[in-house]
A = this chain, B = another copy of it.
């Protein structure tokens, strides 16, 4: 129940991390935690934690702190892990197959329901319990199953075109791993670009500039 008023991108990016830490604390049997103690563990400031959480409502209790399990559940609901968004994967090369098998989509509000590729040697393979289909079947599949999210693990040359096709078929969110900055200029389409190459390159920069 967001206290309406835009939540900044900086806050949104921190939410999954709060969720993760609270999950860990739960497992460790911690029942309550103060912003001060959580800040210590997460290497943030207590102020920032209280500010962030208060974008969504007052989850704490003066003099007591936050109830770990309750807060975990609240943040989960804010993130939308209690929903189930049908998701398809386009591109079942090395990376696509690894994402399909390695990521727990269900615990993040998604469910992988279809995998597509154009390579005849890959089509028919079983990946994460699904049989890889041909891209030609994409349209029929989407019309029948109405996936809301697509994971793109395809070469950059095809990315924009495939994404636009999928938008027409009703896809509302893209998790894009191609070496291309996907930007969809329609309202109400969400894009998360993951640039692993760029990530490595920032590390290269930092290791080459240590102690300057």
User: A residues touching B (Cβ–Cβ < 8 Å)?
Assistant: 2, 4, 7, 12-13, 15-17, 19-20, 42-43, 78-81, 83, 85, 93-95, 97-99, 101-105, 108-110, 148-149, 172-175, 179, 181, 183, 187-188, 190, 192, 194-212
Q: In the complex, what distance in Å separates the CA atom of A99 from the CA atom of B196?
A: 9
**Across-interface contacts of A4 in B (CB, < 8 A):** 212
Q: Could you say how many copies of this chain the assembly holds?
A: 2
Is B102 touching A95 in the complex (CB atoms < 8 A)?
yes
- CB-defined contacts of A196 to chain B, threshold 8 Å: 99, 102-103, 194
Q: Which residues of B contact A103 (CB under 8 A)?
A: 196-197, 200
Residues of B within 8 A of A200 (CB): 103, 105, 108, 110, 175, 192
Residue of chain B at shortest CB distance from A4: B212
Which residues of B are found within 8 Å of A210, using beta-carbon distances? 172, 188, 190
Asked whether, in the complex, the Cβ of B95 is within 8 Å of the Cβ of A207, the reply is: no
| Nearest B-chain residue to A179, judged by Cβ | B20
Please indicate the chain B residues that have their CB under 8 angstroms from the CB of A183 in the complex: 43
Q: How far is the CB of A98 from the nearest CB of chain B, in Å?
A: 3
The verdict on A206 contacting B173 (CB below 8 Å), with A94-B101, A196-B99, A200-B192 known, is: yes
Not counting A43-B183, A172-B207, a sample of 16 additional A-B residue pairs whose C-beta atoms are within 8 angstroms of each other reads: A4-B212, A16-B198, A79-B201, A79-B204, A80-B209, A81-B204, A85-B204, A94-B97, A94-B98, A95-B102, A103-B200, A108-B204, A173-B206, A190-B203, A190-B207, A192-B206
